[in-house]
Amino acid sequence: MRELKRIERCKLIDLPQIADPRGNLTFIEGGRHVPFEIKRVYYLYDIPGGAERGGHAHKELQQLIIAMSGSFDVVLDDGYATERLHLNRSYYGLYVGTMVWREIDNFSSGSVCMVLASTLYDEADYYRDYDAFLRAAKGKA
């Protein structure tokens, strides 16, 4: 059996939904609904039209990216393959593992992107230069 490539490990995760006429509820539990303990939560909002976010990869950090409101696209790249996913439901999360370059674009008006992260912020965990990321990704493959 072949080992999954990094991009193939990225996947959409269905989050629990509790339907109620007064409004729906979704919850997320670290280690249960996502394959890591949640150490940090951040969100992107008030994103100007045409703006892009992301543009980096992580050495160790894992993330779950959720469109809390509106929609946006996430482009994933592991150095061998790329994939674009459109997120527009608050009950789906996109799991992104280590050593995957991500770019987020095509934000709708009023969109909110929430990210659950497996580690605290550490600048040393980032690849911000795409060529440096490619060298590392191909060396670790």
Could you read off the pLDDT of 35-81 as tens digits, one per residue? 999 999 999 999 988 889 999 999 999 999 999 999 999 999 999 99
Please state the domain count of the chain: 1
Q: What percent of the chain has pLDDT over 90?
A: 84
Q: How large is the average pLDDT for residues 118-127?
A: 97
The tens digit of pLDDT for each residue in 62-73 reads 999 999 999 999
Is 70 within a domain? yes
Calpha distance 135→112 (Å, rounded) = 33
| Range with lowest mean pLDDT among 38-42, 52-56, 101-105, 136-140 | 136-140
CATH of the domain at 90: 2.60.120.10
Q: Is the pLDDT of residue 141 over 60?
A: no
Phi, psi of 34 (to 5 degrees): -120, 150
Please, what is the average pLDDT of the chain?
A: 93
Is 66 within a domain? yes
Phi, psi of 136 (to 5 degrees): -65, -45
Query: Of residues 33, 56, 58, 86, which has the active-site annotation?
Result: 56
Question: Which range marks the domain in which residue 117 is found?
Answer: 6-140
Is 124 within a domain? yes
Neighbouring residues of 73: CB distance < 8 A, sequence distance ≥ 6: 84, 85, 86, 87, 104, 105, 106
Calpha distance 17→25 (Å, rounded) = 6
pLDDT of the residue at 2: 53
Neighbouring residues of 103: CB distance < 8 A, sequence distance ≥ 6: 52, 53, 54, 55, 74, 75, 77
pLDDT of the residue at 36: 95
Is 1 within a domain? no
Q: Is the pLDDT of residue 27 over 70?
A: yes
Q: How large is the average pLDDT for residues 29-38?
A: 91
pLDDT of the residue at 7: 83
Query: Is the pTM for the entire model greater than 0.85?
Result: yes
Catalytic-residue membership of 56? yes
Is 23 within a domain? yes
Is 43 within a domain? yes
